[in-house]
Amino acid sequence: MAELSNRLNRLAPSATLAMSQKSSEMKAQGVDVINLSVGEPDFNTPDHIKEAAKKAIDENFSRYSPVPGYMDLRKAIVAKLKNENNLEYTTNEVLVSNGAKQSVCNTVMALVNDGEEVIIPAPYWVSYPQMVKLAGGTPVIVNAGFEQDFKITPEQLEAAITPKTRMLILCSPSNPTGSVYSKEELAGLAEVIKRHEGMYVLADEIYEHINYIGRHESIAQFPGMKERSIIVNGVSKAYAMTGWRIGFIAAPEWIVKGCNKLQGQYTSGPCSVSQKAAEAAYTMSQDCVETMRQAFERRRDLIVELAKQIPGLEVNKPEGAFYLFPKCSSFYGKTDGTRTINNSTDLAMYLLEEGHVATVGGDAFGDPECFRMSYATSDDNIREAMRRIKETLAKLQ
Ligand SMILES: Cc1ncc(COP(=O)(O)O)c(C=O)c1O
C-alpha cells in the first residue's frame, strides 16, 4: 500500500520553500524574478571562518564528533552566552545540532507528550506548529496582529494556558515580522510562565544579532527563568552560515541530556568541519556581524520607506531580523480584470506571476492579513522589487 505514515500525513509542506521553488522554476524559464521569499543573508561566510574550516579539513577533523558537539565549541558557546547575554551556563547545558531547526525540533520532541499543548504566538515561523504536530502535541495559536506590533501580551498568554500546556515558543527578533520584545515585555511573559509549574519557554533567538534597537534581551535572564528556558541560537543568520548547519540549545541539563539521547539515535553530532567553523565564528573578531547588521538596518530603512509609498499597504517599522510583514488585506476582493485576490496566498501568487517578485503570503505564518518580504538582498533589488510591487498592486480595482 503506497501510504505514508499518519505522522507524516499530519505535516504540511513548507510554504516558504514552495514559493522559493516556484520562483526558481520561473527563473529557469528565463523570467527575471526578484526573490524576496528566502530567509537567509545574501552575504558570503566571512573569510576567517572559511579559513578555519579549511584548516579543520587539513587537520583531519573528519571523524564522528561527540553527540552534543565538540567540547571546544561548547566552551565557545558558554563564553558567548556569558559575554553577550550575561547568562551563566556550563558545557553540560549546551548541545550543538544540525542548525537551529534541529535544535527546535529536538526540544519539542524531548518535552512534548501526545495531546500536550504548545502555545505559539501568530504570526509564527512556519515550522513550529508542524514540529509540535510531529511530536503528537497540539499547537495553540495566540493571535498578535499588526495593531499590536505582532507581540502577545501577558494577559493573552495567561488566557491560553490550560492544565495541558507544556511550552511557549517565543521568537524574538521574529521571523516573519521583525518584531522584537523589549526587556519589560519579556519580564511580563516570564511572570506568567513562572506562575505555571511544568511550563517551559523555547526562546528562539536565532536573529539575536540582527537587532536595530540595541542589546538583545533573553527571557532566560529573569530570576527563576533559566530553569524554565530553552534558548535556541546558532551561527546561520549572524555569520551568514545558513548552509553550514550549526545551531545549539542552552537549557537545563536534564533537557540537554534528553535532546542528546534523541540526537544520538537520529543524527549523531553535527558536521565536524562546520563545528570548527562555528567555533571560529564565536571566538574570533565580531566585526563581520556588525558590518552585516548595519547593511540590514540600511535596507530595513529603505524598504520601509518605499513600502509606505504603496497605496493600500500598512507598514510597521520592524526592529530586527530581515523581514517586512505589511498588512495587505485592503486588496482582498479586488481584481485586475482577470483574477480576483481573495487572500494573502493569492496576493503573493499575483505578485510573483504578474510583478515577478517572490514574497510569501501571511497565511503560511498564521496571519492571513499580511505578507512577508525578506530584505536580505541588494539595495538595487529592493528598489526594483518595490517599484514592481507598487505598479502591480495599482492594477487591482
Ligand atoms: C525563526 C527561525 N528559527 C530557526 C531557523 C533555523 O535556523 P537554521 O538554519 O540554523 O536551522 C530559522 C531559519 O529560517 C528561523 O527563521
What is the residue-wise DSSP string for 160-186? H--TTEEEEEEESSPTTT-----HHHH
Planar angle of CA 159, 206, 94, nearest 5 degrees = 95
> Ligand 1, from 42, 101, 207: best to mutate by most atoms within 8 Å of Cβ?
101
Minimum-distance ligand 1 atom for the alpha carbon of 242? 9
The string of pLDDT tens digits covering residues 276-292 is 999 999 999 999 999 99
**Identity at 354, one-letter amino acid code:** E
pLDDT by position in tens, the chain (length 397) = 789 998 888 888 777 777 888 888 999 999 999 999 988 999 999 999 999 999 999 999 999 999 999 999 999 999 999 999 999 999 999 999 999 999 999 999 999 999 999 999 999 999 999 999 999 999 999 999 999 999 999 999 999 999 999 999 999 999 999 999 999 999 999 999 999 999 999 999 999 999 999 889 999 999 999 999 999 999 999 999 999 999 999 999 999 999 999 999 999 999 999 999 999 999 999 999 999 999 999 999 999 999 999 999 999 999 999 999 999 999 999 999 999 999 999 999 999 999 999 999 999 999 999 999 999 999 999 999 999 999 999 999 9
- Nearest protein CA to atom 7 of ligand 1, as residue: 100
Per-residue model confidence (pLDDT) at position 318? 98
**What radius of gyration do the chain's Cα atoms show?**
21
Place of cell 526558481: 24
Is the CB of 206 within 6 Å of ligand 1? yes
Is the CB of 242 within 6 Å of ligand 1? yes
- CB of 347 within 8 A of CB of 360? no
Per-residue model confidence (pLDDT) at position 334? 98
pTM above 0.85, yes or no: yes
Is the CB of 396 within 6 Å of ligand 1? no
Find the 306 Cα to ligand 1 centroid distance in Å.
27
List Cβ neighbours of 117 (8 Å cut-off, separation of 6 or more). Answer: 137, 138, 139, 140, 162, 164, 165, 166
Find the 98 Cα to ligand 1 centroid distance in Å.
11
- CB of 190 within 8 A of CB of 219? yes
Is the CB of 129 within 6 Å of ligand 1? no
For residue 223, what is the DSSP state? T
**Identity at 103, one-letter amino acid code:** S
Minimum-distance ligand 1 atom for the alpha carbon of 321? 16
Give helix 127-134 / helix 99-111 axis angle, nearest 10°. 40
The string of pLDDT tens digits covering residues 23-61 is 889 999 999 999 999 889 999 999 999 999 999 999 999
